Chains A and B, each alone.
Chain A
Amino acid sequence: KAGVTQTPRYLIKTRGQQVTLSCSPISGHRSVSWYQQTPGQGLQFLFEYFSETQRNKGNFPGRFSGRQFSNSRSEMNVSTLELGDSALYLCASSFAGLGRGDTQYFGPGTRLTVL
């Protein structure tokens, strides 16, 4: 089975721009979660999508949004980028989703640098 894939792997943007990251889950997985990892903050949960619906949401501002398509692929969008948005953005997929005794499998991440 192919693993979780994320594109692009690396991205450089400037402040004020917007960015869209993509995640393709493992085949058959319907839950996709997004995380932000920064050196000082560890892994921070952004949101979870399941069957095209946002099911859980972390404590991030409205500039961070996402969506999920009928094939379970998910996109994350960050508008009006700030320097502090520079981070590794990780996507994880699972069959049943968070809080259901299920294991998430992570993609390699997208390294976003905001200049």
Chain B
Amino acid sequence: DQQVKQNSPSLSVQEGRISILNCDYTNSMFDYFLWYKKYPAEGPTFLISISSIKDKNEDGRFTVFLNKSAKHLSLHIVPSQPGDSAVYFCAASGSDTNAGKSTFGDGTTLTVKP
């Protein structure tokens, strides 16, 4: 039973436009959410995180939105750049032992076209 789901395996956007990557989770004990970016042949790189006490966190071109009632979070990248092309993983963790395993989604491959 997958607790974190990224339902879109791929996304293609034009340079300069907004990229929106989505993530859904099922475990209500998750209270910390993270996005990672991964280039081929490299390990994931931390991008941005959000605690469940917030509904938005912004860092430069990257903004993460959290909707706790819908158990949904999204990552907005604006404006998108060709260098943003990578696989993006959503991850969730919680304060109790069971949820503390940092569950990851399967990733969404973002392609930003020049």
Give the B-binding residues of A (Cβ under 8 A).
4, 6, 33, 35, 41-43, 45, 48, 55-56, 58, 90, 92, 97-101, 103-109, 111
Contact = CB atoms under 8 A, between A and B. Distances in A.
Contacts of A105: 46
Contact of A99 (B96, B106, B107): B96
B63 interface: no
Interface residues of B, number: 27
Which of B32, B34, B97, B101 has the most C-beta atoms of chain A within 10 angstroms of its own C-beta?
B101
A4 B45 CA distance: 11
Contact of B43 (A58, A99, A109): A109
Nearest to B99: A99
A46 B46 CA distance: 19
B103 interface: yes
Nearest 3 Cβ contacts at the A-B interface: A99-B100, A106-B43, A42-B106
Which of A42, A100, A105, A109 has the most C-beta atoms of chain B within 10 angstroms of its own C-beta?
A42
